[in-house]
A and B are shown apart, each in its own frame.
Chain A
Amino acid sequence: MSAARRSLRDRAVAAIRLAWSTLALPVLAIFLGLLAGAVVIILTSGLVPNHPFDPGLPLRAYSALFDGALGSDNGRVETLVQAAPLMLAALGIGLGFKAGLFNIGGRGQFLMGAVASVAAAQLVHDSGPLVAIPVALVAGAAVGAAWGFLPGFLKAVSGAHEVVTTIMLNYVAVALLSWLVAGPLRLPKSPQPVTNDVGDAALPILLGRDGHIGIILAFLAVPIVWFFLYKTTRGFEIRAVGANPDASRYAGMKPRRMIVLTMSISGLLVGLAGAGNVLGLNHEIPASFSTTVGFDAITVALLGRSHPIGIMLSALLFGALRQGSQGMQIDAGVPSQLVDVVQATILLFLVASPVIQAVLRLRGVSSGLGTTETMTKTYGTESVR
């Protein structure tokens, strides 16, 4: 009896320890990031139109942000809508981190996934949702995967670092999308270049005004990616290559093949995020279509420590920040780019977590970003064999 109770207590203590060790630093980094954002707001409050210097502005800005994100049913649904592409894209980028690869090409993969799904939707415009939706989603995922395959392949055969090539491919994707929308995919007689709407491939709405089924897709991807990473041989190989390429090669794995595979899956997930977003939310693509998802997803993946569950939580947080920032700009006059500032400071404090730990004397906290140590070690070198 008492032994059973003790083991229960031990388990509770262990759970609290685990929660403390994994959550303490991210939560602290979020808090410090918001604090830094508040300082920026105060320092620049005199610049807000028709507004004197005002130390109380951060409070109003943040309460407007909170209200916009979570204060109403509509806000909560919109937060989920914003979080869904972040979740999918960050799962992809986090997968790259696990393999020691840094996919900064999220923007390009997102845009290519979006435009491919719209192109496919044109082909199956009137063939019923049961056909059109899967076709459009698969097209988006496939083209996203191709856009991730390219830098992976280039790294594997020539050693060209993915950080440079993925960024270059982002700009290529922007130009390609703009050409497709202005040319082959343009809706005839439209005054501005814009594609036709996605027709039957539009994702059904489940919640409120915009709560499309893509949200469920994003939440479903979390356990799938978790299972892939931690319960399959391929997932194990990806993690092994990320942890130590030389050792994994010695054990008979093929790091080159893993690089190509990981970048492709990474691009697939980001492309799916783009497809889901355009099929569920925008329904058409203007020539100026752009996204912040690619870069936001890097922060989401790092904050979630590249673990699917961590990514899910941090995607929800950043979905709320993105959604709330629009209300903040309207109600308090604080530009929505503040979220980027907050994002950068959160990252800064995460990366500098060993210092924070030393200063605050935190004990029993697992620090740092975990799985990203091998990234710069392969920078520009031919060490990939």
Chain B
Amino acid sequence: MKRSAEEIRKAAESGDYLTQLSAHKSLRELLKEDSAASGLQPLRLAVLGSSTTAQLIPLLELHCFKEGLLAEIYESPFDQYQQEILDPSSRLYAFRPQAALLFVNYRDVRPGPTQVEAERWVSLWRTLSEKGRCFVIANNFDLPVERPAGSLEGGLDQGVGRLRRLNALLAERTGQGVALLDAEHLSAMLGKERWHDPRFWHHSRQAVSFEGLTRYAAEAAAMLRAALGRSRKCLVVDLDNVLWGGIVGEDGVAALELGDTPRGDAFLEFQRYLKALKQRGVLLAACSKNDEANAKEPFAKRPEMPLRLDDFSAFVANWEDKATNLRSIASSLNIGLDALVFVDDSAAECEIVRRFCPEVAVLQMPEDPAEYCRLLDSRRFFETVSISGEDASRAAHFEAEKSRRALESAAPDLKSFLRDLRMRATAEPFKEEDLGRIAQLINKTNQFNLTARRRNEAELRALIKDPSALTLSVRLQDRLGDYGLIAVCIGLKRGEEVEIDSWLMSCRALGRGVEQFTFTRLAQAAWEAGAKSLLGRYLPTPKNGMVRDLYPSLGFKREGERWRLELPAPPAEAFISDGSAIAAS
């Protein structure tokens, strides 16, 4: 049957198994036209199955197309996945896949200690990932319907109990180019009695029902899209009858359905789902035909709403058409239109966006708000399989900072707050490999910087060899994150005095007791070098007012332009005012 690309995508989204197979045939026809593949990202995909994959392959091609990928698939022979993975000269590796999908099921799990079995799978994944130099998607194990030991089995090291433990172990071992497709969840969503069809297993080793396979292919394709970095990034929502029931400009903010009725409760639930999306990194934007003041009013006057105005990275309420507004949202966020998902309850608005911004994924909300969360979730727009190192640390830093603030507000006082963070600081003399970071700190730090003396890497390198230089680079981590190298101190020994030539600290580490720690370590180093006193200088700059009184606060006595602290005895850790805050090592 001849179908347009749009019809094929629709069949992939909502058709049953036979419709999808038929759509796949249409896709094959469509792709014979040269232009059909334009705009699709080519993907060389290897599919390795322990069971029959004949039906899975066309479904994968179809769902990849739906996700904007043009899949060229290598189908490993039936149940040859282990041999192919282990043999470096296998056809699998000759194919040079960019991604490999390991389609296995609970029957492939071997007896023995669960930990050992988990290691066996992890080792297969790693081998595949390293030898194939490809992204690996492996599924976890779909628990069967039958439980010989009944509910008791959940607590036993057999049957579903063991599979659950195995799945938990496997989930901890993903990352570094391996993602776990949650087949267990897919099977539960569909219903295990529909996911598993023993007749087709006996007939031709079909491990998953065909209905189940369509779900599996959709999940795999969304993960592949994510692995190629093409996940959607931003959800643009309409406001009236999407975030709340009613029209704020007409009904007034007090009359909006929010929580007080069953329908209103569903709107709140949808807002909570959006909030969860936002918290895991999806950008939210609002796009509403409204006066801006009206559109913003509910955020100010309906405190029961989980979403606040600052949850939105872009907020557009005007009377322009939404296609224009989506373009301006995309450009203001510096992302492409193909990173947007647009959600609206109006068929007309959805149609306009489909027509004028075909790159945007459009989802029309159904009549009943109770369906909103599930519908949006089912489309897997924001699937992610891995986070790049930089993104991960940025996201992690962001989260850690939020947790720190949460702790700070919950903690009764600073001391217990610091103790709760379980900070760990280390100080060591400068090392060659740290010089880049040290130079960066020395040359960029303006606020916590006693002398603001700048040095380049070569000058710092010379200090390493200089026996009269006492150098310290300080690292800090706590249970929420790793700050890295955050403070630098340079002391120069002259006779029985050590003068603190430079002392600076990144503002990220302020208020953590690091200054005490650094000072103690320098004093110890000075004592060990035979010094009897420390000399400090504060050279004022327009920005370093915060350390004006640092030396007196540490017990130094003024001596003209300088500050002096006698070291009558070996400095103890007691120099740290809150000894419990930093575990030094």
Whether both chains belong to one complex is answered with no
User: Which residues of B approach A to under 8 Å, CB–CB?
Assistant: none
